[in-house]
Amino acid sequence: MNVEKRIGTKKVLPINSKTIIHYMLVNNSITEAIGKALKPFDVSSQQFNVLRILRGQDGQAANLSTINNKMISKMSNTTRLVDKLLLKGYVNRIVCPSNRRKIEITITEKGKKALLKMDKAIEATENQLLHRFNGKELKQFNELLNKF
């Protein structure tokens, strides 16, 4: 992608600016593709992330703090995300009887089944987005990103 052409400037950008703008453009493309893949399931990428976190708990409940700490986007309102998943029947929320401030969340069987379908859509999207890269290039790309 030619960044200058993409943003419609004839000016040659300094390499730092060009790199950041390029990263932002790629990030937006990825975000849009993931959103499009999840649209048929009526979940956002943040809701998908919550479901994956809960599945990763291997049957153990998680509290809102645990979920929030593991979120990809720390700007998410975890309570609101859980509420939306609760309405869909994808999660259970249990209030601890001895400490009403302690809320535990688990993924339901319905949530697990839906997540398996979402996984396939996301995997197909990831493959489509990354099909121009081989394994060595992806490893190198991740090593470069680790420098952030």
CB atoms within 10 A of CB 50: 27
Q: With cut-offs at 50, 70 and 90, classify the pLDDT of residue 4.
A: confident
pLDDT of res. 12: 85
Q: How far apart are the C-alpha atoms of 7 and 22, rounded to whole Å?
A: 10
Tell me the CATH class for 3-120.
Answer: mainly alpha
The string of pLDDT tens digits covering residues 33-42 is 999 999 999 9
Question: Could you write out the DSSP letters of every residue in 76-133?
Answer: S-HHHHHHHHHHTTSEEEEE-SS-TT-EEEEE-HHHHHHHHHHHHHHHHHHHHHHTT-
Q: Are 106 and 91 in contact (CB under 8 A)?
A: yes
Instruction: With 0.75 as the threshold, say if the pTM is over it.
Output: yes
> In this predicted model, what pLDDT tens digit does every residue of 85-99 receive, in sequence order?
999 999 999 887 777
